[in-house]
Amino acid sequence: MRIALAQLNPTVGDVRGNADRIINIIRRAAAERADLVVFSELTLLGYPPKDLLLKPHLVETCRVELARVAAACTGLTALVGFAEPTGRDVGRPLHNALAVCRDGRVTAVHRKTLLPTYDVFDEDRYFEPAGRREVERVHDATGREWRLGLSICEDLWNMRGRPPAGAASRAYIQDPVGEIVAAGAELVINASASPFEAGKNEHRTRLFSARADELGVPVIVVNQVGANDDLIFDGASAVFAPGRGLVARAKAFEEDLLTLEWPSESARVEPYPDELSSIHAGLVLGTRDYVRKCGFQGAVLGLSGGIDSALTAVLAVEAIGADAVHGVALPSRFSSDHSIADARRLAANLGIDFRVLPIETIHRAFEATLAETFAGRAADITEENVQARVRGNLLMALSNKFGWLLLTTGNKSELAVGYCTLYGDMSGGLAVISDVPKTTVYELARRINRLAGREVIPAGSIEKPPSAELRPDQTDQDSLPPYHVLDAVLRLYVEEMRSVGQIVQAGFDEAMVRDVVRKVDASEYKRKQAALGLKVTSRAFGSGRRMPIAARCEP
């Protein structure tokens, strides 16, 4: 059987546009003599559609467009993800479903059983689980019948007993894929929308290889690619064979159509980038798709001469091109000459538009306006924040006037402990590196220069002590532990949900840990008002982390 793995980048909610692209891929697959073409989970809608699923007219559009897709299926079978009404007055209104399209019509529908409702997933809000599972029979060009076990994403993410070490899987009582193989399926196909995070592809490979061994049949996984809001999907659709593990893989972080003959001893196996390279690729894809899918004319960001804004600028240029990126230096009396020079040098290295908007006049106007009210009180962080908010207002003015997306440049370490200014440097529409710890920011910057064979990011931006430059001789370490220590504590507290006691037992100073944890918890209100950030770690400050603000909990 010739099978085509169709790895598409759908736009959430654009059902007609997605259907057009699906039909084009079906035609390409037919030209490659495919017997079967498999699309990812909820392809017609894009994943995750969230509360768009509650709009009856959109679900009806899904039905109409699915019929149009099915009409294009002659001479092959297509498996297309869509949202199917249950037709019942009780329970959730929809099924997360996979349509079997052939001979110009939908001949069968298979439904998802395991509905993830954790981290960034909220499927129990919308979907009812499948009531039963059946083997799907498909004939290839020779007339041979193949018994397929069709599944959707989470249905495959289960292992009886202990999963392989490090595998990101959940233990479920029910094993829908195991059940359908027991019913006679000789090939498991999984339509998936599995979001990217650093290291996750290794987990997938181990888990799905182990599942193929356990089930005793090949496993084919077709994953969505592209970014939708905070979630990045890396593609890398793949085939796993019992006793052989990974035997075929599509490209990572880009659309692909991988057609292979099964069974086969030879198939295309695209390389998957290492962890640091995958983070870089994911951030570029996330930025590009957010700008493109939201319809912005370009992007603007403040260039301070520091490493965070430099990295964000490099990623933006790679995502949307130098002509569409606009860098702005906004110096104050506390800005060093070398910082402005580094910002100018970065812009020249990248070939982007660069302008300087000094904030001193506006800053002094604020000081004069507040002088009488603040009389008798010592200067403190209030005056520092005024500078950041002046900058935020100027950058937002450029965004409004020219239709540019304002990129915020704060990293995960700063956002975690609130080392950022609400309505100041937090102003913007997309926080590109808000899930990237500061230590990883340094690694990415050095990698960029190393691969370029030149100084794309000025050495001064990388080597000088990090500083907000809001008061004389200020450095980040006046307020924070060294970043390699801070990031280790944050990983344990934020990503692994460890207690203060457990973190101290791991070898960290208790007073420092308590101070960091206090700052993290006290800054929740800031993060609730932060720009949308791209998720690249196991737990970002986004849709998968739902912490209360008005709360009191022993850390």
DSSP secondary structure string, 486-540? HHHHHIIIIIS---HHHHHHTT--HHHHHHHHHHHHHTHHHHHTSPEE---SSS-
Q: Domain boundaries in the chain?
A: 2-264, 279-476+524-533
Residue 554 designated active-site: no
Any idea which architecture 2-264 has in CATH? 4-Layer Sandwich (3.60)
The total of other beta-carbon atoms located within 10 Å of residue 89's CB is 6
Given the residues 84, 112, 251, 469, the one annotated as active site: 112
Q: In terms of Cα–Cα distance, which of 357, 359, 386, 356 is closest to 371?
A: 386
From first to last of its 555 residues, the chain has per-residue pLDDT tens of: 999 999 999 999 999 999 999 999 999 999 999 999 999 999 999 999 999 999 999 999 999 999 999 999 999 999 999 999 999 989 999 999 999 999 999 999 999 999 999 999 999 999 999 988 999 999 999 999 999 999 999 999 976 554 544 444 567 888 999 999 999 999 999 999 999 999 999 999 999 999 999 999 999 999 999 999 999 999 999 999 999 999 999 999 999 999 999 987 788 999 999 999 999 999 999 999 999 999 999 999 999 999 999 999 999 999 999 999 999 999 988 878 888 999 999 999 999 999 999 999 999 999 999 999 999 999 999 999 999 999 999 999 999 999 999 999 999 999 999 999 999 999 999 999 999 999 999 999 999 999 999 999 999 999 987 765 566 766 767 678 999 999 999 999 999 999 999 999 999 999 999 999 999 999 999 999 999 999 999 999 999 999 999 988 888
50-72: pLDDT as tens digits: 999 999 999 999 999 999 999 99
Residues 6+ apart with CB under 8 A from 365: none
d(CA 92, CA 127): 5
Look at residue 266 in the predicted model and tell me its pLDDT.
80
Given the residues 62, 73, 101, 153, the one annotated as active site: 153
441-455: pLDDT as tens digits: 999 999 999 999 999
In the chain, what is the straight-line distance between the N-terminal and C-terminal CA atoms, in Å?
56
Residue 112 designated active-site: yes
Given the residues 41, 65, 414, 469, the one annotated as active site: 41
Which CATH number is associated with domain 279-476+524-533? 3.40.50.620
Look at residue 159 in the predicted model and tell me its pLDDT.
62
C-beta of residue 103 within 8 angstroms of C-beta of residue 138: no
d(CA 543, CA 554): 23
CA distances from 545 to 111, 424, 533 (A): 28, 23, 12
Residue 153 designated active-site: yes
